[in-house]
Amino acid sequence: MKYLFAIFCIVVIFISCRKDVIGHIPTPYELEIPSHFPSMVIPENNPMTKEGVDLGRMLFYEERLSGDNSMSCASCHSPENSFSDPNQFSTGINGIQGNRNSMALINLGWQKFFFWDGRAKSLEDQILEPVPNPIEMHQEWGDAVVKLEQDVEYRNMFFKAFGEKGIDSTKVSKAIAQFIRTMISGSSKFDVMYKFENSLPLNGNDQAILSSISPEEWAGYDLFKSLTGADCLHCHSGILMHINKFSNNGLDATFTDIGRGAITGNPNEIGRFKIPTLRNIALTAPYMHDGRFGTLDEVIEHYSSQLVSSPTIDPLMEHLSSGGVQLDSQEKDLLKKFLFTLTDYDFISNPDFQDPNK
Amino acid sequence: MKNLLILLSAAALLILSSCKDSTPTPTPVVVDQLKISIQPTFGPMNLNLDQTYVTAEGYNLQYTDIRFYVTSLSYNSKELCQAALFDYRENGTSFITQPGKPADFPSLNGFFGVDLAYNHDDPTVWPTTSPLNIIVANDMHWDWNPGYIFLKVEAKVDTLNDGVDNFNHYVVFHVGGDNLLQSVELSGYNWSQVSQGVFQLPLKLDMQKFLQNGAQTIDVKSEHSSHSMVGEEELSSKVIQNLKDALSPL
């Protein structure tokens, strides 16, 4: 009788709610978006879930994604450098170097294109690249998936994150994309300055930070925004500290790496690169697509006096004819002080973003 | 035992019926769509970005960017569209698509630029599809104050008529600020039906007229840059008036 009852129950549940029983329903993940940020558009085919984010974080630090099990995403996107690489060029598992500087992973959920040349249109697409790339992790996706499938913990985590059995590259990229969307930086000194100047409510902690902001930092901010000062606002503006655009900021007269031009084939786009965010900029040296500048002083000198003309230079580099915005040494110092306010220590030390196995 | 069986059958019935897809198919409500498109032209010709046109002064000119906001577009108190952003490079000629009936909008009034009512609001609070949302607005926003950039016209010019291409003279007009907000009126047009329930109002934006608006001309050799700063009022206001006047029913 007892058995009959049990079998009966199982059969009923099975035929009635079939799809729900075979799968597992992941828990929706509530993104913590700072109050002064816009809402984030999440792709319909990759909703944020707690299990997905946890899995993505594991995978981000997973060295088995590389051919010789020695390299993870974090090897070139390390937390203490705001998820970038302190080396000018990162070295892949075979000792080969690329010709581009690794990019800091900050607030990417609001971006529309990825890589210095914007060749990936979504985070999910972007993440498919580094694993098979011969100068990076150099491993066929098929081999990476086999390694993950051998691990029962991964089999379970994928099942819980996607509600079905099986692992493939699409699921790996979806999970990592979910993790990267949680990597939000919005609690630097600059954020308090932004809220204060726009009369947005400040909490107790913000108030304390506000009183620590020096007159030089405020003066540097004014200079940063002023069209007759450092004129950075044209390209590195707003709460995200960049606009979505490709631009040539006057680094070279001719180009060995033609950037966006190689993707579109449009001669007007030769030498244009993605305008990067300036958040956490003090932590992400070296600078520019090829990491040519080791310090912020060199970057400031570039914009101040070393602009180089080329046919595709951004017309917004309006001080080109005089070589740059011509800052004196005091102004350079103020500007640098402001750039330091963009550092968000809470972001880089956030336990949710660290290696889960440490 | 019998009772148990009855109970079980009832339970089974309940579980079975509770799990069926129970969303009723809604009867579709047919709503007319109103579309406004804008075709940039250079005099009688359709205009393309990055293509060369000759100005009245004989300069070779290539427009590289044409963008502007129109807000609070209404007839009487009925609003067709709160905010629209024309962006020729990103969106081509399409401008506004809204539900509405042609008869409700025999003419349209609004602002060329961003209505004072929104210009200094937090640019992050708008729905993610609104042109006023900072992610959509992108670089069409300076700061909460002075607010949105109402229009951007950028071009490259070869000012020397020497037969050698050298487009090294840049034109950058970024105009905004509450003082420069213009009212705009569109009238004397007919909505034309393009398909079942879809009505179109094609407009044109004559970028030759932008430079040559009757007596109000812009000589891009000397008048090539404005960011609407103090001291640039005259050129800024000419730029926004001329661009507004360049817009008319096709």
Report pLDDT digits (tens) over A101-157: 999 999 999 999 999 999 999 999 999 999 999 999 999 999 999 999 999 999 999
- Asked whether B109 and B74 are in contact (CB, 8 A), the reply is yes
Question: If interface means Cβ-Cβ distance under 8 Å, which residues of chain A face chain B?
Answer: 5, 8, 12-13, 15-17, 20, 36-39, 41, 110, 197-198, 200, 225, 227-228, 233-235, 237-239, 243-245, 268, 311, 315-316, 318
How many interchain CB pairs under 8 A, A with B?
74
Torsion, Cα B99 B103 B104 B108, to 10 degrees, reads 100
A281: closest CA of chain B, how far (Å): 21
A265: closest CA of chain B, how far (Å): 14
The shortest CB-CB distance from B138 to any of A200, A239, A243 is to A243
How crowded is residue A173: how many other Cβ atoms within 10 Å of its Cβ? 23
Asked if B165 reaches chain A (Cβ–Cβ under 8 Å), the answer is: no
Question: What range does the domain containing B70 cover?
Answer: 31-249
The shortest CB-CB distance from B170 to any of A12, A235, A315 is to A315
Asked if B8 reaches chain A (Cβ–Cβ under 8 Å), the answer is: yes
Topology (CATH) of A20-184: Cytochrome Bc1 Complex; Chain D, domain 2 (1.10.760)
Give the chain B residue whose CA is nearest to the CA of A309.
B168
- In this prediction, residue B16 has a pLDDT band, given cuts at 50, 70 and 90, of very low
- Asked whether A58 and A160 are in contact (CB, 8 A), the reply is no
Cβ contact, residue pair B154, A200, below 8 Å: no
pLDDT at A161: 98
By residue count, chain B amounts to 250
Domain count within chain B: 1
> What ipTM does this complex have?
0.89
Across B43-59, average pLDDT: 96
Name the pTM for this structure: 0.91
Determine, yes or no, domain membership for B221.
yes
Torsion, Cα B137 B142 B146 B147, to 10 degrees, reads 10
Q: List CB contacts of A65: < 8 A, sequence separation 6 or more.
A: A59, A71, A72, A73, A131, A137, A139, A144, A172
How crowded is residue A97: how many other Cβ atoms within 10 Å of its Cβ? 12
A310: closest CA of chain B, how far (Å): 9
Determine, yes or no, domain membership for B26.
no
Asked if B139 reaches chain A (Cβ–Cβ under 8 Å), the answer is: yes
Domain extent listing, chain A: 20-184, 189-342
Per-residue pLDDT of chain A (358 residues; tens, 9 = 90+): 556 555 544 544 444 445 444 678 999 999 999 999 999 999 999 999 999 999 999 999 999 999 999 999 999 999 999 999 999 999 999 899 999 999 999 999 999 999 999 999 999 999 999 999 999 999 999 999 999 999 999 999 999 999 999 999 999 999 999 999 999 999 999 999 999 999 999 999 999 999 999 999 999 999 999 989 999 999 999 999 999 999 999 999 999 999 999 999 999 999 999 999 999 999 999 999 999 999 999 999 999 999 999 999 999 999 999 999 999 999 999 999 999 999 999 999 999 999 999 8
pLDDT at B18: 46
Strands (E), A105-252: 246-247
Q: Which of B128, B138, B149 to mutate to test the interface with A (most CBs of A within 10 A)?
A: B138
A65: closest CA of chain B, how far (Å): 33
pLDDT at B4: 53
What is the distance between the alpha carbons of residues A27 and A49, in angstroms, rounded to a whole number? 5
Give the chain A residue whose CA is nearest to the CA of B18.
A16
CATH class, domain A189-342, is: mainly alpha
**B157-181: pLDDT as tens digits:** 999 878 888 898 999 999 999 999 9
